[in-house]
Structure 1
Amino acid sequence: MDNRAEVREFLISRRAKVTPQQAGLPDVGDRRVPGLRRGEVAALAGVSVEYYAKLERGALGGVSASVLDAIARALQLDDAERTHLFHLAHAADGTSAGMRPRRRAGKRWTPRPSLQWVLDKFTAPAIVRNGRMDLLACNHLGRAMHDPLYDAAAGGQPSFARFTFLDLDAAHDFYPDWDGAADICVAILRTEAGRDPHDKELHDLVGELSTRSPDFRHRWSSHNVRTHGAGTKLFHHRDVGDLELAYESMDMISDPGLTLTLYAAEPGSPTAHALDLLASWTAQTTSGQTPSAQPET
């Protein structure tokens, strides 16, 4: 990806989101575009207008951490946005090349047996994904929960991104809040693009989705980023109905670039009962039995 263009568009998009009132500045004169003027950001960051204009044109190579911090404060960046800015700066001066996880070209990642044993020990859904939103591994309940993604992949690599934007009927059914899920998906991809700007497979994915999905193209142009650590998600499973699940995500130290996500239902909740039913069916299916109960309608 063009680093200078990424920097320019990211800084301009963040500047447009901050009003003079939010920055504690007087709103003087007509503004042709929303947000702060370049001069106002420069003043808030303690740099010259000329220097900030140079940065906003994409010249982040060699910029000190203190200046990046000052720009982040002036633009009121959150933690994810600040990290993204630093990743863009590292890419601009070439230091990100040594930070990228090593990959074996042309070889599809598969979970180690020990990792699969760990996943299978969890009684709730557990999955492993990469920054491109490929679903790489899961336990039995995670597999049952994400059946629509595996159906859409037709034997290939399940992809949250392709499923969300290219299998719209199934995705809208699986995600009751499809807009929220789509926003999160794109923000994670944009974050990954800043972290690893030389990932050819990510480039190809973004190009494919931008060409085939206006919904993706619109969201990609917003330059929103996200740290996806914990929260609550709502899913709809075709057999057991709505699932409101808390999730915790964590980076895998042994596999840089991969994320382990664990889901859990509130004890005693309808979702907990639905997961118990799904787990029972999954156990019977994997043991070759026929499920003995049907979901209530």
Structure 2
Amino acid sequence: MSTGRDIPHEIKHDLRDDIREFLTTRRARLTPEQVGLPDFGGRRRVPGLRREEVALVAGMSVEYYVRLERGNATGVSESVLEGITRALQLDEAERAHLYDLVRTANQGAGPRRRLAPPRPARVRPNVQQLIDTMENVPVIVQNGRLDVITTNRLGRELFSPAFEASSEQRPVNLARFVFLGAGAGQFFRDWDDTARQTVAILRTEAGRAPYDRELSDLVGELATRCDAFRVLWASHDVRIHQTGKKNVHHPVVGDLDLTYEGMALASEPGLLLLAYGAAPGSATGDALRVLASWAVPHGV
């Protein structure tokens, strides 16, 4: 990890690759018709939009766009990024990811880089006390690498298969469980969707924190040991982890159709609190009450 002015060579190289591959995969999914351009037919050497078509819709020269897609982000302005966001029809997560990549790529040419403070390895006692009072709501707190930092009792019980599969490794990492954990395929009823979301969250975090050695090591481990992860990582999809659904099969109470809300902990930078719930009167709500009464205290 560099503490000086310049981005380390290996990270700079990866950033150029990430910018190129991200933009390439985004334009590959669009057609001229989708961005309001005529399609004159003819054989296309690559799927999706051509570079000159992206440049036209973004309002810039082809040469400038080609330079950026090759990973040269030096001096790229916000207006250029907004033009590309519009042309490639990027969503909120994709736009933020592009900005993160370009911002980091420009750090080597700017003022001395200030390293981000270390991510907290635990929550403050009053935060733990707060989530412990939420006895009927499963709660976990995780960082951007999907390490489980802490839980309340019901949260620990809900994700007990992950804790049991990772009994010799702390903190429990949910990405490692999804792709390498025994029983993950049985626990996550929609494993394919969970796998895609997991990789997209890690890819988003990699754009925000390219100097995170633990994240790089995790990605390297999963890519080496799991073909499915490697394929999904190459897609360069990103996702903001805020709200959604989680369908699981718990070994004690069976199928659960959960919703969740994610809330960033302002007092604990880099940590996200996830609270899981179900519709009142639903079978899942009843099952959660059974699980709450069955659960016993555990340490994380």
**Counterpart of 1:34 in structure 2: which amino acid?**
P
User: What residue in structure 2 maps to residue 14 of structure 1?
Assistant: 26
Determine which of 223, 230, 233 is the counterpart of 2:243. 230
Off by >6 Å, runs of 4+ in structure 1: none
Determine which of 142, 147, 159 is the counterpart of 2:173. 159
Cα deviation, residue 269, structure 1: 0.5
User: What residue in structure 2 maps to residue 69 of structure 1?
Assistant: 82
Alpha carbons 1:101, 1:256 under 8 Å: kept: no
Gap change, CA 1:71 and 1:96, over 3 Å in 2: farther
Unaligned runs of 5+ in 2: 1-10
* In structure 2, C-alpha distance between the alignment counterparts of 1:231 and 1:268, rounded to whole Å: 20
User: What residue in structure 1 maps to residue 227 of structure 2?
Assistant: 214
Matched, 1:270 2:283: yes
User: What residue in structure 2 maps to residue 261 of structure 1?
Assistant: 274
**Counterpart of 2:74 in structure 1: which amino acid?**
G
User: What residue in structure 2 maps to residue 293 of structure 1?
Assistant: none
User: Taking every aligned residue pair, what percent have the same amino acid on both sides?
Assistant: 52
User: What residue in structure 2 maps to residue 290 of structure 1?
Assistant: none
User: What residue in structure 1 maps to residue 4 of structure 2?
Assistant: none
Matched, 1:3 2:11: no
Question: Which stretch shifts more, 71-80 or 151-160?
Answer: 151-160
**Counterpart of 1:93 in structure 2: which amino acid?**
N
Matched, 1:190 2:203: yes
**Counterpart of 2:175 in structure 1: which amino acid?**
A
Alpha carbons 1:90, 1:96 under 8 Å: kept: no
DSSP-derived class of the 1:92 partner: helix
How big is each residue's C-alpha offset from its partner over 1:158-210, in whole Å with a ceiling of 9 and x where there is no partner?
A: 1111101112x411111000000000000000000001111000110010100
Counterpart mapping for 1:16-35 below 5 A:
16-28=28-40, 29-35=42-48
Cα deviation, residue 115, structure 1: 1.0
User: What residue in structure 2 maps to residue 49 of structure 1?
Assistant: 62
**Counterpart of 1:119 in structure 2: which amino acid?**
I
Gap change, CA 1:120 and 1:223, over 3 Å in 2: same
Cα deviation, residue 98, structure 1: 5.7
Cα deviation, residue 99, structure 1: 7.5
User: Please, what is the CA RMSD of the aligned residues?
Assistant: 1.7
**Counterpart of 2:196 in structure 1: which amino acid?**
D
**Counterpart of 1:102 in structure 2: which amino acid?**
P
Matched, 1:102 2:95: no
DSSP-derived class of the 2:183 partner: helix
* In structure 2, C-alpha distance between the alignment counterparts of 1:3 and 1:286, rounded to whole Å: 44
TM-score (norm: length of structure 1): 0.91
How big is each residue's C-alpha offset from its partner over 1:194-239, in whole Å with a ceiling of 9 and x where there is no partner?
A: 0111100011001010000000000000000001211221111001
* In structure 2, C-alpha distance between the alignment counterparts of 1:272 and 1:260, rounded to whole Å: 20
Cα deviation, residue 254, structure 1: 1.2
* In structure 1, C-alpha distance between the alignment counterparts of 2:222 and 2:111, rounded to whole Å: 25
DSSP-derived class of the 1:234 partner: strand
Cα deviation, residue 100, structure 1: 6.0
Alpha carbons 1:15, 1:36 under 8 Å: kept: yes
How big is each residue's C-alpha offset from its partner over 1:72-118, in whole Å with a ceiling of 9 and x where there is no partner?
A: 100010110000000001111117996764117xxx71222111101
**Counterpart of 1:204 in structure 2: which amino acid?**
D
How big is each residue's C-alpha offset from its partner over 1:233-279, in whole Å with a ceiling of 9 and x where there is no partner?
A: 11110010011111100211111111111111110100011000000
* In structure 1, C-alpha distance between the alignment counterparts of 2:289 and 2:253, rounded to whole Å: 10
**Counterpart of 1:160 in structure 2: which amino acid?**
L
Determine which of 83, 95, 105 is the counterpart of 2:96. 83
Alpha carbons 1:45, 1:73 under 8 Å: kept: yes
**What is the aligned length?**
281
DSSP-derived class of the 1:242 partner: strand
Gap change, CA 1:40 and 1:179, over 3 Å in 2: same
Greater RCO (Cα-Cα under 8 Å, separation 6 or more)? 2
DSSP-derived class of the 1:60 partner: coil
Alpha carbons 2:123, 2:268 under 8 Å: kept: no
Gap change, CA 1:96 and 1:20, over 3 Å in 2: farther
DSSP-derived class of the 1:36 partner: coil
DSSP-derived class of the 2:26 partner: helix
DSSP-derived class of the 2:94 partner: helix
